[in-house]
Amino acid sequence: MITVSRSHWGPGAVALFLALFLTVFLVIPVAKVIYVAFQDPNTGALTLINFIDFFNTSLFRESFVNSFYVAALSVVVASAFALPLAYFTTRFNFSGAILIQTLGVIPLIMPPFVGAVAMVLLFGQNGTINLLLDEYLGFTIPFMEGLNGVIFVESVHYFPFILINLSAALNNIDRSMEEAAQNLGASRGRLFRRIVFPLAMPGYVAGASLVFLKVFDDLGTPLLLNINNMLAPQAYLRITSIGIGDPMGYVISVILVTFSLLALWTSFLALRGKEYATVQKGGGGLMKRDLAGWEKAGCYAVVILILLLVLSPHIALTLLSFGTVWSFSPLPDAYTVQHYVDVVSTSSIYITNTLLYAGLAAGIDVVFGTAIAYVVWRTGLPGRKMLDYLAMGAVAIPGVVLGIGYLRTFYQFDVPFIDKPLASWWVIIVIALAIRRLPYALRACVAALQQVSVMLEEAAENLGATKSRTVRRVVVPLMTGGIVAGFVTSFATASVELSATIMLVSQESDAPLAYGIYEFMQSAAGRGPGAALGIIAVLIIGIATYLSHRIVNNKETERAPRQQSAAQGV
């Protein structure tokens, strides 16, 4: 018989509540989706026939191959963007390194489909670049044709995941390893191959697998580029045009989930069995060296080129938001501020909704993240690891699947007093966002908790503090940096989320920004205002992110141990 000590009651109740929440809002909806995939559409009996249909349909096979191809190539292209930026800024004495790192994260805070609209204007077949190329050089480059466009847009949007993780990994490499290698006479090339590259691997793999997952699941970008032959759009198209009863949408969902889990597992396998932690700390980060003049010029040229490329959606969006008519010409015909005036007067509801939803979701995430981290790392509750896996598992659930699952599970369930189904109440959007971003916050909280010594807690308890008092007065305050970092990542990424919300928004007054922009982009007169709304979104999220970073940094300088940065290791 397991005896549960009295001090376990508090954490036990918290763990139970968390498990219940995750079961209701993650496990059951996903299980419902999986269940329908195995049901005969006509009789309701359990069957594998839908999967046989899936693999017999050449369209679905093609979609599968296309999704895989796009995700894999996006990782390659995103790496090409991220590697030089990460390496140059951590390895060399490079003025503007902070600025470069900051600019490199900006693509993440724009909804990828907005980026798609903007990039078509710049790189499309009759976009700025190609019109100029055609006029002066007589040829064009198919940047945006078919799957190329999806790969291009996705890698620009998601490469910061690799940049953040890889920079963090490079900064954490112990300098003494490098010194040892140099003392033993290793050349620069050998040093890179045998020391820097292998030690940076965990960060790179973490970022790359995240990019793979995100691209594999993304819905908005292929839809905006009119690419149908991929898995996520097929699932969405089946469900919205044939109906919530069509089994193929669910089969596709199951396949999406399976492959996302597989990608996570592969990245886990790739790192297993190797020891990456360096024991003693001989000083953080690699030795930075100075560059020779011509080297410096070359590096800057590469960095500026990459930054121009990855910031091109923002450049195009800015032009679009100030432009009057932009049609088959390299630049807009004229400029105006009217779109901003329109948007501010009519669309403040989208902005307040977004701040409310993303704020609530990120709040839930850090509270739950802290609680889960504490339960998993500081208590001996049975099954506590399951809680961690469950919460992390959310990263592998595509937004479309979660959206479909919520519609299916909560449509029958009426909220008391509100008199409408839970699936069409705005709170469900907050819950969906919270579940989808929980893994980000959880990783940040775990990292922060691991840096708080258990001895401090023991000391507090020896002095007579209760468990809850210890958590409130000692653990949480010491974790603040990590918690804020988790909040920022969850908030910023939740603000631009579309794939789950597009299925769950049931009325305009509940719609968040990303949805509002999507709606604006559906009418001739709405492109400018939509772009203006996009720019406002980027600014607001950017400012919110910057402010919280400031808070984190202040906290960090107050206390000696450095907190790990937000998105790393998700």
Partner 1 sequence: MKRKDFLRAVSGALAALAVSALPAFAADLEGKLVIVTSYPPDTTVTIKKAFEAAHPGVEVEMLKKKTTAGIKFLQETAKNNTSDMFWASAPDAFEVLKADGLLAKYQVKVQGIPEKVGAFPINDPDGYYKGFAASGYGIMWNTRYLKAKKLPVPKTWAELADPVYFGHVGMSAPSRSGTTHLTVETILQGMGWEKGWGLMKSISGNFKTVTERSFGVPDGVNSGQFGLGIVIDFFGLSSQASGFPVDFLYPPITTLVPANIAIVKNAPHPKAAAAFIEFLLSAKGQEVLLDPKIRRLPVNPETYAKAPAGFPNPFKDKSIGAAVKFDLDKSKGRYNVVNSLFDVLVTYRLSDLQDAVKAIHDAKAKAKAKGKSNAEAAKLIAEAEALVAKMPITEEEAGKKDVNAIFKKKRKKADTKITGRQAEVEQQWDKEAKANYTKAKELAKKAAGML
Of 549, 555, 568, give the one whose Cα is nearest residue 170: 568
| Distance of closest approach, residue 325 Cβ to partner 1, in angstroms | 5
Q: Cβ closer to partner 1: 58 or 557? A: 58
Cβ neighbours, 10 Å, residue 263:
20
Binding-site member from 136, 139, 328, 389 for partner 1 (CB under 8 A): 328
> Applying CB under 8 A, which part among 15-23, 310-318, 376-384, 505-513 lies near partner 1?
505-513
Of 268-276, 455-463, 525-533, 559-567, which part binds partner 1 (CB under 8 A)?
525-533
Interatomic CA distance for residues 61 and 248, integer angstroms: 13
Is residue 338 at the binding interface for partner 1, with CB under 8 A as the rule?
Answer: no
522 is a contact residue toward partner 1 (CB under 8 A):
yes
Strands (DSSP E) along 172-250, which ranges? none
Closer CB to partner 1, residue 44 or residue 293? Answer: 44
Number of neighbouring beta carbons within 10 Å of residue 141: 13
- Residue with tokens 């994260």, as numbered in its chain: 105
- Grouping H, G, I as helix, E, B as strand and the rest as coil, residue 421 is strand
* 245 is an interface residue for partner 1 by CB under 8 A: yes
Quick check: 41 binds partner 1 (CB under 8 A)? yes
Binding of partner 1 by 336 (CB under 8 A):
no
506 binds partner 1 (CB under 8 A): yes
Binding of partner 1 at residue 421 (CB under 8 A)?
yes
Residue 346 makes contact with partner 1 by CB under 8 A: yes
x/- map, 390-419, partner 1, by CB under 8 A: ---------------------x--x--xxx
- Nearest alpha carbon to residue 313 among 217, 216, 224: 224
Which among 11-19, 245-253, 284-292, 462-470 is the span making contact with partner 1, rule CB under 8 A?
Answer: 245-253
Structure tokens at 428: 């469900």
Rounded distance between C-alpha atoms, residue 366 and residue 354, angstroms? 18
Residues near 424 by beta carbon (within 8 Å), at least 6 away in sequence: 411, 504, 506, 507
Residue 137 or 184: which CB sits closer to partner 1?
Answer: 137
d(CA 456, CA 23): 33
Residue of 224, 104, 203 whose CA lies nearest to 155: 104
Q: Which is nearer to partner 1, 3 or 56 (CB)?
A: 56
Residue 342 near partner 1 by CB under 8 A: no
Which is closer to partner 1, CB of 128 or CB of 495? 128
Can residue 345 be called a binding residue for partner 1 (CB under 8 A)?
A: no
Minimum CB–partner distance for residue 248 and partner 1 (Å) = 5
DSSP letters of 87-134? HHHHHB--TTHHHHHHHHHGGGGS-HHHHHHHHHHHHSTTSHHHHHHH
Q: Check residue 247 for interaction with partner 1 (CB under 8 A).
A: yes
- Residue 142 engages partner 1 in binding (rule: CB under 8 A): no
Question: Which residues on neighbouring strands pair with residue 323, listed in sequence order?
Answer: 335
Q: Quick one: which segment of 72-80, 321-329, 361-369, 479-487 binds partner 1 (CB under 8 A)?
A: 321-329
Q: Are 350 and 515 in contact (CB under 8 A)?
A: yes
CA 559 vs CA 443, 459, 555, 562: distances in Å: 21, 19, 6, 8
CA–CA separation, 562 and 548 (whole Å): 16
Considering the complex, state which of residue 93 and residue 336 has its C-beta at the smaller distance from partner 1: 336
Is there binding between residue 120 and partner 1 (CB under 8 A)?
A: yes
Considering beta carbons, is residue 40 or 295 the nearer one to partner 1?
A: 40
Binding site for partner 1 (CB under 8 A): 41-42, 44, 49-50, 53-54, 56-59, 120-121, 124-127, 223-224, 226, 228-229, 233, 237, 240-248, 324-329, 346, 349, 352, 356, 411, 414, 417-421, 426, 506-509, 519-527
